[in-house]
């Protein structure tokens, strides 16, 4: 089937980025959230990011204007029900995601494809709670969405071929590359990335190195563009902890045990850049390590 209209649930850093790339690729986008302030900030951010692309010659002013005109916002979740494709990009908690799909089900068209941008939660389990497990997939974008080229496509046990092929075509139209992953905890990227971040936190916790020395070691010694603790702050320490808990619970292997220091930072509300404090303090002109 051909996708023309897209509904996106959640106007946070992932949702607004997904709305950006879909609108720029010519899709009609409706973005919904429980907060009008979040919706307003998302639209303003999309506008700024598109303007940056115009200034760098990545897109034209006309294409930017057309993309912004394709984006609508609503506080009413059920208004996105008639969309051809729905992408859930809410917080990484299974109960929240289930509640969203429960509310949407009575308002969907028969052909509507449901997807989740979850970075770790079982697609098969999410799909089984809906009326269309064959039309349900994991659609995992990387952050920041307008820049990162990869999209993980995750089939649940019941996902049919037509749904998979349709989303493959969508990824191609977005100008991105799809990686197919099996439905196991954290899929591919986070199955590899999060234990590395968690090990970096253990290295800090055990006093092997400071925040600065750990990040510099990986940037200069492994040629990573960003150190693991800096990256954790960018992702959000609450998200990192949630994914480690999914890995630990789902695979029952002690190597996925979240570092107690990661848990402590989350308990303190030091979640990284979004709260101005994490492994770095972002309240001044330049980030300062907190340990």
pLDDT of residue 176: 98
Task: Point out the catalytic residue in the list 122, 190, 198, 230.
Answer: 190
Q: Mean pLDDT over all residues of the chain? A: 96
* Choice among 5, 119, 120, 198 that is catalytic: 119
4 among annotated binding-site residues: no
pTM of the model: 0.90
Select which of 49, 140, 198, 230 is catalytic.
140
Q: Is 109 annotated as a binding residue?
A: no
The owner of tokens 């930072």 is 265
What average pLDDT does the segment 5-10 reach? 98
Please confirm, yes or no, whether 49 is among the known catalytic residues. Answer: no
pLDDT at 165 over 90: yes
119 flagged as catalytic: yes
Per the annotation, the verdict on 285 as an active-site residue is no
pLDDT band, very low/low/confident/very high, at 243 (cuts 50, 70, 90): very high
What is the mean predicted confidence (pLDDT) over 30-41?
97
Binding site annotation covers 119?
yes
10 marked ligand binding residue = yes
Active site residue 79: no
92 is in an annotated binding site: yes
137 annotated ligand-binding residue: no
pLDDT category at 40 given cuts 50, 70, 90 is very high
The pLDDT score that the predictor gives to residue 1 is: 80
Instruction: Please state the rounded mean pLDDT for residues 255-269.
Output: 98
Q: Which domains, and CATH codes, for the chain? A: 5-182 (3.40.50.720), 190-289 (1.10.1040.10)
The pLDDT, as a whole number, for residue 257 is 98
* Catalytic residue (one of 38, 152, 198, 230): 152
Confidence of residue 127 (pLDDT cuts 50, 70, 90): very high
Residue 16 pLDDT > 90: yes
pLDDT number for residue 177? 98
């Amino acid at each position: 089937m051909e996708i023309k209209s897209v509904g996106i649930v959640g106007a946070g850093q992932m949702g607004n980025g997904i709305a950006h790339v879909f609108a720029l690729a010519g899709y009609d986008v409706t973005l919904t959230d429980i907060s009008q302030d979040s919706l307003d900030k998302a639209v303003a951010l999309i506008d700024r990011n598109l303007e940056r692309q115009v200034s760098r010659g990545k897109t034209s002013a006309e294409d930017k204007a057309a993309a912004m005109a394709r984006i609508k916002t609503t506080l009413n979740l059920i208004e996105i029900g008639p969309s051809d494709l729905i992408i859930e990009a809410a917080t990484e908690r299974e109960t929240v995601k289930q509640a969203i799909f429960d509310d949407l089900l009575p308002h969907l068209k028969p052909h509507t494809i449901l997807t989740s941008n979850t970075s770790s939660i079982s697609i098969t389990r999410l799909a089984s709670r809906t009326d269309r497990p064959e039309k349900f997939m994991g659609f995992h974008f990387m952050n920041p969405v307008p820049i990162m080229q990869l999209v993980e496509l995750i089939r649940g046990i019941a996902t049919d071929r037509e749904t998979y092929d349709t989303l493959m075509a969508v990824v191609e139209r977005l100008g991105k590359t799809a990686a197919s992953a099996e439905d196991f905890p954290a899929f591919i990227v986070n199955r590899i990335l999060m234990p590395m971040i968690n090990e970096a936190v253990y290295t800090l916790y055990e006093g092997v190195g400071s925040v600065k020395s750990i990040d510099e070691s990986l940037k200069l010694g492994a040629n990573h563009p960003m150190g693991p603790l800096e990256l954790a702050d960018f992702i959000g320490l609450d998200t990192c902890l949630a994914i480690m808990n999914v890995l630990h619970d789902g695979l029952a292997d002690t190597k996925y045990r979240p570092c107690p220091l990661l848990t402590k930072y989350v308990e303190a509300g030091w979640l990284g850049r979004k709260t101005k404090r994490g492994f770095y303090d972002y309240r001044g002109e330049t980030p300062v390590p907190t340990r």
